[in-house]
Amino acid sequence: MPHGAPDDSDVVKRGGNYRLDDMAELAARLGTPITFHRFGDVIWLDTFVNGLGGWIKYTGGAGILIAAENTHFITDGLACVLTVAVADPRYAMIYRSFPYYSDTRLGFGITYACAGANSTVGLEMDYFEGAFYYKGLIRIDHTSGDVTYLDTTGGFTALGNLGLLDGVGVIWYPTKLIIDTLANEYVGFYHGDTYYNMAGIPLYTGGSALAPHSMTVVTFSDTVGSGQSLYLDSAIYTENEF
């Protein structure tokens, strides 16, 4: 294509030759080849290239590893790995805190891959208003493919089934959870091209005296005690979602 010409131009612009890897303009005009949801205004994003300095790490027992490493990754040569222990409690979590965003739709997306099928991945957003807090949480069971959400009773309700999910070939799955902080409800959940409409489903709520803020959380648990790993890349936090 003519480099630098307007979109409606039918005249090749005179100019120098450009290397084949100078594809930024072409990519911007064509857009992404992925059909995954990319709406919302970006508050923050992280490819873990600078490590885990902005994340708080929580491990459920000795022998659990949470680190940035380069065994498997999508972008920038690093990803976050959560490896759980073979003995109870087999649980690991990372989270990051942000200012409080009111009266908007928030989105939290992350791309993940499991090295081991017998595991559960959790994608969560919390926000604290001063007197109350609200929690949206999706769980993905890599043994059964079941997707559940945290309901108002503190239990988990079935949302759907994704079928067989990879736990051997390190296949990356893009995900995104969207919640509404004005209505205090879920909006929807994406797992690749699969979308679950959650409009009208209330978030879990409880009392809290903490200062107003919001959080993004990823949890990982091993159901059989085999020391499995979860890889995370391309985390993104958005507001003004559709």
Q: Give the single-character DSSP code of 29.
A: H
Predicted local distance difference test score (pLDDT) of residue 182: 94
Res 1: pLDDT: 43
What is the model's pLDDT at position 33?
Answer: 46
Kindly report the pTM of this predicted structure: 0.82
Give the mean pLDDT per block of 10 residues along the chain (242 residues).
Answer: 49 51 52 59 89 84 82 85 80 92 92 83 95 96 93 97 81 94 96 94 95 94 77 92 85
Q: Are 124 and 138 a contacting pair, CB within 8 Å?
A: yes
| CATH number, domain 37-239 | 2.60.120.200
pLDDT digits (tens, 9 = 90+) for 208-227: 989 999 999 999 988 776 67
Assigned token pair, 2:
């003519």
pLDDT digits (tens, 9 = 90+) for 123-167: 999 999 989 999 999 999 988 899 999 999 999 999 999 988 876
- Paired strand residues for 58: 93
The Cα 50–Cα 44 span in angstroms is 14
Q: What is the pLDDT of residue 152?
A: 97
How many helices (H) and strands (E) the chain has is answered by: 1, 16
Which residue type occupies 231? Answer: Y
pLDDT of residue 16: 52
Return the SS3 of 33.
Answer: coil
Q: What is the pLDDT of residue 34?
A: 47
Closest CA to 173 of 46, 48, 34: 34
Q: What backbone torsions phi and psi does residue 68 show, to the nearest 5 degrees?
A: -95, 130
Phi, psi at 155, each rounded to 5°:
-95, -175
pLDDT in the model for residue 143: 83
Do 227 and 83 contact (CB within 8 A), yes or no?
yes
SS3 30: helix
For the chain, the domains span 37-239
Q: Cα–Cα distance between 83 and 228 in angstroms, integer?
A: 6
Distance, in Å, from the CA atom of 109 to the CA atom of 74, rounded to the nearest integer, reads 15
Task: Name the residue with tokens 């222990």.
Answer: 85
Buried b (16+ CB within 10 A) or exposed e, 223-240: eeeebbbbbbbbbbbbbe
d(CA 160, CA 147): 5
Distance in angstroms (rounded) separating the CA atoms of residues 140 and 220: 10
Query: What confidence score (pLDDT) does residue 88 get?
Result: 73
- Residue 114: C-alpha distances to residues 88, 167, 178, 226, 229 (Å): 19, 5, 22, 13, 6
